[in-house]
Amino acid sequence: GQNIDQPTEMTATEGAIVQINCTYQTSGFNGLFWYQQHAGEAPTFLSYNVLDGLEEKGRFSSFLSRSKGYSYLLLKELQMKDSASYLCAVRGNSGYSTLTFGKGTMLLVSP
Amino acid sequence: DTAVSQTPKYLVTQMGNDKSIKCEQNLGHDTMYWYKQDSKKFLKIMFSYNNKELIINETVPNRFSPKSPDKAHLNLHINSLELGDSAVYFCASSQDWVGLHYNEQFFGPGTRLTVL
């Protein structure tokens, strides 16, 4: 089975940097995804890590440590539009692309 | 151009009724999924189809019956609706079913189902 933990809520200020952590315990691992979901909308893909290390993509970066079962999503130069839920999802090693999602971290960016 | 579309966007119905949700993707993907997101925003896989064939069924009650007439469409029919079925249902698609590469999933806008 898969167990994925992430904080329920976080708050930050416009222009700041925020780090959203995700820890996982899985029977197999074949990649970790971060999705962004604005209220009332569909999740949209942000990042993918399968090897240890940092992946950078503009203002967003994602880090993975497989030995620690740990990932984080780093958001820089926060903007009001970054207020959303951030979902950590793990793909198992069954051979399928099925994702198991965490419960999401609601990020509120204030002026 | 809409990549993954669902209809209807909202569905309000009485307990015991039967309803369907339709999903279409124009990305040329082989694999499609149904997810349920409950009131606590927990997104959980229900079914996965690859090229019209069922490949994943996550112990969903048999009141839920997916149907894939072709690889661009995956519909969800729900019989004898219950209060606990109230949720947002998301359809998604990916290039294929293989978990060996990137294979990002693209989500539809969701269908908010309310059972009264």
Determine contact, residues B88/B116, Cβ cutoff 8 Å: no
Amino acid B99: pLDDT: 63
What does DSSP assign to residue A96?
Answer: B
Ramachandran angles phi, psi of B77, nearest 5° = -110, 135
Task: Give the pair of three-digit tokens for residue B36.
Answer: 């349920």
- Distance CA(B92)–CA(B68), nearest Å, equals 13
- Contact (CB<8Å) A103/B42: yes
pLDDT at B1 over 80: no
Give the distance from residue B97's alpha carbon to the nearest chain A alpha carbon, in angstroms.
5
What does DSSP assign to residue A82?
Answer: G
Amino acid B100: pLDDT: 62
Range A1-30 average pLDDT: 92
Q: What's at B52, amino acid-wise?
A: K
Amino acid B41: pLDDT: 81
A99 vs A12, more confident = A12
- Distance CA(A13)–CA(A22), nearest Å, equals 21
Counted across chains A and B, CB pairs separated by less than 8 A come out at 64
Task: Give the pair of three-digit tokens for residue A54.
Answer: 């940092």
pLDDT at A1 over 70: no
What does DSSP assign to residue A92?
Answer: -
Closest residue by Cα to residue A88 from A56, A49, A51: A49
pLDDT at B65 over 90: yes
Q: Which residues in chain A are contacts of B99 at CB distance < 8 A?
A: 30-31, 91-98
For chain A, the residue count is 111
pLDDT at B17 over 80: yes
Bridge partners (DSSP) of residue A107 are: A10, A84
B86 vs B103, more confident = B86
Determine contact, residues A88/A47, Cβ cutoff 8 Å: no
- Distance CA(A30)–CA(B109), nearest Å, equals 27
For chain B, the residue count is 116
Q: What is the biggest distance separating any 2 CA atoms in chain A, rounded to whole angstroms?
A: 44
Determine contact, residues B68/B49, Cβ cutoff 8 Å: yes
- Contact (CB<8Å) B99/A31: yes
What tens digit of pLDDT does each residue of A52-107 get? 999 998 999 999 999 999 999 999 999 999 999 999 999 887 767 688 899 999 99
Range B79-97 average pLDDT: 93
Rg over CA atoms, chain B: 14
What tens digit of pLDDT does each residue of A40-51 get? 999 999 999 999
Percentage of chain B lying above the pLDDT 70 cut: 96
